[in-house]
Amino acid sequence: MSKRSVKASRERTIHTHAELWHASNVVLKSGEEIAKGSAWQFLASAIFTAFAFEAYLNHVGPQVYERWADVDRLSPIAKLDLICHFLKVKQGSEISTIKELFNFRNKIAHGRTQTIRDEKVIRPEDVDPHFSDIPRDGWENLIKDKKFAVRVRKHVEILANRISMAIGDQRGPFAYGLSTGMASLIDDLHTG
């Protein structure tokens, strides 16, 4: 008597840039909903936005420049400039925000211990409020609220949409990859 088995195969194309874009949105929403610890959610959102955009540039790059492997080690801004040059995509006012985003990302990725000092003359009644607010580095000021995370997502999306349209991608820049699966019935001729 023959037994039956099923041969199953599946495949998934992972668009890392889309996954990171989604992660950026999820942690942003979490920070908006829960105030306690929200600065870290806004930090994560901005970092995921930077990672998503760089991954998107690495996704598009080989489509517009056949020697992309030769320039793969360039900075994200240099990659962006190259892609925009080949596609004749205009970088609008959002480029200053995108540069700020990658400066922020680099400061976090290559962080160093530092001491921040300030000194000022204040009124006696302002002493307690003064000491309740600690000195902050520039990147810390950017994550005190959601404004930076929201702004960088908006500006990255604007420029990514322009690039997506230039390459004729109707699905948009942060579309997920596809998954497929197939199963077929097979006869097992061996009996046990």
Closest CA to 55 of 143, 177, 179: 177
- Which pLDDT belongs to residue 35? 92
Mean pLDDT of the chain: 93
146 lies in a domain?
A: yes
Q: Which domain range does residue 147 map to?
A: 12-116+140-178
Residue 49 covered by a domain: yes
pLDDT over 90 percentage in the chain = 75
- Structure confidence at residue 3 as a pLDDT band (50, 70, 90): confident
Q: Is residue 83 part of a domain?
A: yes
pLDDT at 127: 87
Whole-structure pTM over 0.75, yes or no?
A: yes
Structurally, the chain folds into a number of domains equal to: 1
pLDDT digits (tens, 9 = 90+) for 36-46: 999 999 999 99
Query: 107 to each of 22, 38, 137, how far by Cα in Å?
Result: 23, 20, 10
Instruction: State both tokens at 140.
Output: 């810390």
Residue 185 lies in a domain: no
* Cβ–Cβ under 8 Å, residues 6 and 184: yes
Between CA 82 and CA 76 the distance in angstroms is 10
Residue that has been written with the tokens 């889309």 in this structure: 18
Domain presence at residue 129: no
Classify residue 101: in a domain, yes or no.
yes
Q: Is 187 helix (H, G, I), strand (E, B) or coil?
A: strand
* Residue 126 forms part of a structural domain: no
Q: What CATH number is attached to the domain comprising 71?
A: 1.20.120.330
Q: How many residues does the chain have?
A: 192
Around Cβ 150, how many Cβ atoms within 10 Å?
A: 16
On whether residue 122 sits in a domain, the answer given is no
**What confidence tens digit (pLDDT) does each residue in 9-29 have?**
998 889 999 999 999 999 999
81-140 pLDDT, tens digit each: 999 999 999 999 999 999 999 999 999 999 999 999 988 899 989 888 888 888 899 999
